[in-house]
Amino acid sequence: MPVDTSKRGRDVSSAVETSRPTAPPAMVTEPVSASRRALLVSGLVAAGGAAVAASRAQSQATPDPMAGHAMSGGAVDPYSAHDSGMAHGNMTMVGQVDHARNGFDPTAMLTDWETGRTEVLPDGRTLRTFEVDAIDVEIEIAPGVFFPAWTFNGRVPGPALRAKEGERLRIVFRNLGSHPHSMHFHGIHSARMDGVQGAGLIDPGEEFVYEFDAKPFGCHLYHCHTLPLKRHMHKGMYGLFVVDPDPARHPEFAAVAASRVLGSPENAEWQELAMVMNGFDTNFDGENEVYAVNTVGQAYMKAPIRIDKSRPVRIYLMNATEFDPINSFHLHGNFFDYYDTGTQLTPTLRTVDVIMQCQAQRGILEFSFADHEDGMYMFHAHQAEFTELGWMGFFDVREAGA
C-alpha cells in the first residue's frame, strides 16, 4: 500500500492536536468505575436474567463519570482558579491570622534582626548583650487555629540574634515560663555555657547569663535543650543565631565578607531575609498539622514577599521542623547558590533550585531576579505534603518603585 509520508506526517500532528482536549476525561471514566464496582458486587454476572428494574438499580449506583470534573455548569467549579493572580485555586486556608494579637508578623520577622546592645571592653573588643525571656503564649499558627506555645521573647521563632565574628557575647536569659528552659547555642563555646542540665538550664523564675565568643561565622541556631527535647523544640523554642564574618580576618574574600556584615555599605544593596522552616503538631499525635516558614502557615501566600528585582537576595534559612527528619526549599523560575551552614565565603552548591535540610541544618541562599520578568515567583518545600499543609509562599518581584 503506497504511503504518502508527508500526508501522514501532517495527519499525525493534527491528530495529536485534536486528541489532547479529550484525553484527560477519558482517563477517569469507565475502567476505574467498572473495576471498583466489580469489587463491591462480585457475582453480578452470575445473576443473569435479572429483572429489568434491578438492572436499572445498577445504573442508579453508577456514578456520573464527569462528576467533580465538570468545567462548567456547577455553581462552584473545584477546578477553577479561586484567585487568578495567586494560581493556587481553592487549595488555601480560610481566613486571616491576627498578627497584632500574636504580637509578631511573619513579614516583619523576615528583616527583624535582633542586634542587642554593644559596649567596648577594656581590651578594645565589642561586648554584645542580648536579653531573652522564656514566655508561655498562645499563638495563632493558621487562621483560627491556636497553639499553646513556649517562646523566646513571645515569638516563634525566637528573635533572630545577629552578631559579628570575634565579638564577646552575653545573653541574659530569664525564665518567665511554666517549665524549666535553657538556651543551647550552635557555635563554639565552653561546656559551662552549653544550655544543658547543669550548664544554664534554669527553673521558672530564674535567670542565667550565657557568655562566649562569636565564632565561627555562619548561619546558626539556638534552641531550648530541656528534656523532653522534642516537646520543648516543637512548642516553639528555637531561633536563628547569625554570626557575620569579619572582613579583616578574610582578606582573600573581604568583599564577600563585607557584604554579609549587617549595616555595612556593601550589605545595604542586599535584600536579606530570615526564614525558619517549622511545623506544628496541634493535636499532639507526633505529626504536624501545619507547616510554615516563620510559623504562620501560608503567610507569604496571603502576603507575598516584596522583592526589588534590581537587588540580589540573601536568605538565612534554617530547619526547625520537628517530627519530620528533613525539610526542603525550592525556588520557582530561578536557581541559587547555597552556602551550607554559612561557614564558607564561597558556595558549597552552585546553581541549584532545591536544597534539603535535616533538623537543625541551615545555610545561606543567594540569588537574583535582575534579568527576570516581573511577577509572582513561588517558593515552597518540595515535599508536596508540607507544601499543601502550609509551607509555601510567593516572591512578588518588581522594580523598586513599581
Cα(133)–Cα(172) distance, rounded to whole angstroms? 8
Question: In the set 24, 43, 122, 265, which binds another protein (CB under 8 A)?
Answer: 43
Candidate residues 46, 100, 120, 400; the one interacting with another protein per rule CB under 8 A = 46
> Residue 294's closest CA among 225, 148, 392?
392
Q: How far is the CB of 54 from another protein (least distance, A)?
A: 5
Should residue 26 be labelled a site residue for another protein when binding is judged by CB under 8 A? no
Q: Is 99 in the site for another protein (CB under 8 A)?
A: no
Q: CB-based contacts of 115: which residues, under 8 Å, 6+ apart?
A: 128, 162, 163, 262
Closer residue to another protein, CB minimum distance, 50 or 188: 50
Residue 137: CB atoms within 10 A of its CB come to 18
Instruction: Assess contact for 369 and 343: CB atoms under 8 A.
Output: no
3-state secondary structure 386-400: HHHCCCEEEEEEECC
CA separation for the pair 84, 81 (Å, rounded) = 6
Stretch that binds another protein, among 6-14, 93-101, 235-243, 370-378 (CB under 8 A): 93-101
Distances (CA, A) of 137 to 131, 141, 150, 296, 300: 18, 12, 6, 15, 23
- Residues 170/135, Cβ–Cβ less than 8 Å: no
23 binds another protein (CB under 8 A): no
Least spacing, CB of residue 70 vs another protein, in Å: 5
Does residue 310 bind another protein (CB under 8 A)? no
Which of 15, 26, 47, 209 binds another protein (CB under 8 A)? It is 47
Which residue is it, cell 516553639?
236
Structural contact between residues 202 and 244, judged by C-beta atoms closer than 8 angstroms: no
Considering the rule CB under 8 A, would residue 82 count as an interface residue with another protein?
yes
Q: Least CB distance from residue 237 to another protein, whole Å?
A: 18
Least distance (Å) from another protein to the CB of residue 74?
4
Q: Tell whether residue 230 is a contact of another protein (CB under 8 A).
A: no
Q: Contact positions toward another protein, by CB under 8 A? A: 28-29, 32-33, 35-37, 39-44, 46-47, 50-51, 53-58, 60-61, 63-70, 73-79, 82, 90-95, 142-147, 280, 282-283, 285, 289, 297-298, 385, 388-390
